[in-house]
Structure 1
């Protein structure tokens, strides 16, 4: 930090297991990645190349190399995994991970129907090759999953070998964990946290109001994801109580 302030909450140090910021790259150019890393690298723990953008991204290997040079791991979005799986190309997906030197992968079923036992078996298989993040929740706003099922699926997927489980919200923050308005399904989140350790969950929270809510609920070291590159520094100030929304949250009287 550039200078000292009292009563700033402690942040975990990189490489973190808790307090993660997962950034979504929806198609940045190489130059944009360089600009983002100049200010955001210290506060970014992992980058997701959103949905299946890696399929159409020019200079993909060069982009991955830029992130690697900054010490930031990258993974392909879960929709790409689903695109391979639904076409019967799971083994091809594994070969793509090797071809691009990927060390992380996401297993999701937000756009397809998949039995939980099959999903867990795929997690177990991929966990022998890479570090697996698994996503729980549907991208269909009409599909409401009850809290007990979120908990059951998260527990199963962690036991199958997932490093973290991701709470689905899409890039807009208006499904899964949230209502169509972006409002947090508070009862769902609080019930999940009674059964699943907070450090094992990454909450997709692209909207500022959602980030504020999770910081106030869990603390400065909550894991949040689907953060836009240009919002990473802003999020860090929210975590530290240096933005109006959390200004009083960490102050002691």
Structure 2
């Protein structure tokens, strides 16, 4: 930091197990990726190439090299995993991970129907190859999963070998954990936290109000995902109580 301020929350240091920020690359060019990291490298822990954008992104290998050179791990979105699975191409998917030196994989079933034991089987197989993130929740806004089922699914996927589980929200933040308006399903979140440790969950929270909610609920070192590249530094100020939304939340006026 460029100067000293009292009473600023202590942030975990990279490589982080909590306080983790996942940035969403929805098709950045090589130059945009370089510019993004020149400002925000210290605040991003992993980059997700959203859904199946890697299939159509020009100069993919050069962009991935930018992330490798910055020691920023990356992975392809869960929708791409599902696109391979629905076409019976799991072995091809595994070869793709090796080809592009992808250190993480996201196992999800937000767009397809999949038996949960089958999903856990994919987690178990992939964990021998890469670090696995598994996503819980549907991309269908009409499909409401009750809290007890979120907890059961998350726990089984962690037991199968997922490093962390991701709470679904899409890049827009209006399904899964959230209502169509973007409002947090706070009862759902708080019930999940009665059984699943907060450091084992990455909460997709693309909207500022959602980020503020999770930081106020769990502190500066909550894991957040689907953050737009331009929002990395603004998010860090929210984490540190240096933006109006959390300005008083961390401030101890007696010091």
TM category (shorter chain) comes to over 0.9
Show structure 1 runs of 5+ residues with no match: none
- Residue in 1 that maps onto 2:120: 120
Alignment size in residue pairs: 253
Structure 2 residue aligned with 1:206: 206
In the alignment, structure 1 residue 72 sits paired with structure 2 residue 72? yes
Please state whether the residue corresponding to 2:37 is helix, strand or coil: helix
Q: How much does 1:252 deviate?
A: 1.1
Aligned-residue offset at 1:170: 0.2
TM-fit CA distance, 1:12:
0.1
Moved more, 236-245 or 59-68: 59-68
Write out aligned runs for 1:132-171 (5 A).
132-171=132-171
> C-alpha distance in 1, partners of 2:128/2:203?
25
Cα deviation for residue 99 of structure 1 reads: 0.6
How far does the alpha carbon of each residue in 1:39-87 deviate from its partner, in whole angstroms, 9 at most, with x for none? 1100000000000000001111111110111110000000000000000
Distance 1:25 1:211 in 2: 18
Q: Quick one: distance in 2 between partners of 1:10 and 1:68?
A: 27
2:20 maps to 20
Structure 2 partner of 1:35: 35
Instruction: Please name the residue that 2:246 is paired with.
Output: 246
TM-score by length of 2: 0.99
Distance of 1:167 and 1:10 partners within structure 2: 25
Q: Which residue of 1 is the match for residue 221 of structure 2?
A: 221
Partner in structure 2 of residue 193 of structure 1? 193
Q: Secondary structure, in 3 states, of the residue corresponding to 1:106?
A: strand
Q: Root-mean-square deviation (CA), in Å?
A: 0.4
1:82 aligns with 2:87: no
* CA–CA distance in structure 1, aligned partners of residues 102 and 231 of structure 2: 25
Aligned pairs (5 A) from 1:97-108? 97-108=97-108
CA offset at residue 31 of structure 1?
0.6
After the TM superposition, which parts of structure 1 deviate over 2 Å for at least 4 consecutive aligned residues?
A: none
